[in-house]
Amino acid sequence: MTHIEHQPLDHGIFGPGSVTWKVYRCPTSMTVGFARTALTEMFDPLVVASVAGTGSLRERASDRYDRTLEYAGALVLGDSATAARMADTLMRIHSTVGGTDPVTGQHYDPNDPAGQLWIHLTQWQSVLHVYERFGPGRLSAEEERQYWAECAVAARFQTIDPADVPRDRAEMRAYYERVRPDLVVSDVAVEHALLVLEGGNLASRLPGRLRVLSPLVHRVLRRATIATLPAWMREAIGTRQGPVTDALVTALVRPALRLAARRPRALARVLAEASPRAYEVLAPAVLDIAPERAETVTVEEAFRRLGRPLPREQHLAAVAGAADGGRAKQAS
């Protein structure tokens, strides 16, 4: 039996009338979309350096997946207080992490806006791509404009300048083309991408008597994730999966995820088993639990209520403080 630990305070930043909720409440986002996001992120050398530096994916992969899905779900589907608190907490944690990437020799900072933009956009593009492939299909032109506008709103939970967020599919493709030369297929990137591929589909951890099917579901979702990857990424991870397997797995997964979308209580039970932390923030939206206040809140207002500056303001202040400290040291 699933349960909700608390009633949400409000509809969060976007609410049930948004395209974000339409896309992210679909089971595609919590399964293949999440796995594709986490895998793709690993090819940014500074992002993977910060992940590898903590050892979290190697040593406690399940916990990391659960926490990452909890965080991503809170920002788009959780109430405004939870979203702001989680974003602020991650900002503070990231401020204590940094170092030098052994592959490129560059300094990495998890709060760096360029790295945060990569993580943000790979998530929003991956979730949409998987929604269109395995879910209801392509958004309308108006829905797509709204989706990317909402993507820019969500960027305010991070250190990103919202002006840098693509406003449509063409701008998203241009972004990928621009950053592609900076991506690195290193041993550590491939290692972490494969770790994600092997363990990233939390939905394969089925509850109760269905648990016997978990290995089969895992193999299918693994192949479904590969089916969404570009050719260069497939080559990097050493898979020979071709178009025939892509077509077969799509024909199998699409109706299964569409059925799951019509069975929200069953989906919630899978979430509770597979990702208990994420369940607490995702279940109210999945199950249409009414909040205390039927309202949406801006990111700015959510942080004002928390009594904290926006993440970008915190980052710019930290950069300015470091520069002042450096100049003072030189002067002395």
Q: Per the structure block, which two tokens stand in for 193?
A: 């991408």
- Please report the pLDDT score of residue 5 as a whole number: 53
- Please report the pLDDT score of residue 1 as a whole number: 41
- Please report the pLDDT score of residue 262 as a whole number: 92
Q: Average pLDDT across each block of 10 residues of the chain; the chain has 332 residues. List them in order.
A: 69 96 95 92 86 65 80 95 96 81 77 94 97 96 97 97 96 96 90 82 64 81 95 94 96 94 89 86 92 96 97 92 66 59
- Please report the pLDDT score of residue 144 as a whole number: 96
Q: Which residues is 108 bridged to in the sheet?
A: 99
- What does the DSSP assignment read for 67-127? HHHHHHHHHHHS-HHHHHHHHHHHHHHHTT--EE-TTT--EE-TT-HHHHHHHHHHHHHHH
The string over 215-237, giving b where at least 16 C-beta atoms fall within 10 Å of a residue's C-beta and e elsewhere, is eebbebbbbbbbbbbeeebeebb
**Measuring CA to CA, which residue among 36, 31, 28, 29 is closest to residue 226?**
36
pTM: 0.90
Which position has the token pair 């190697």? 58
- Please report the pLDDT score of residue 73 as a whole number: 94
- Please report the pLDDT score of residue 204 as a whole number: 59
**Measuring CA to CA, which residue among 7, 5, 8, 10 is closest to residue 293?**
10
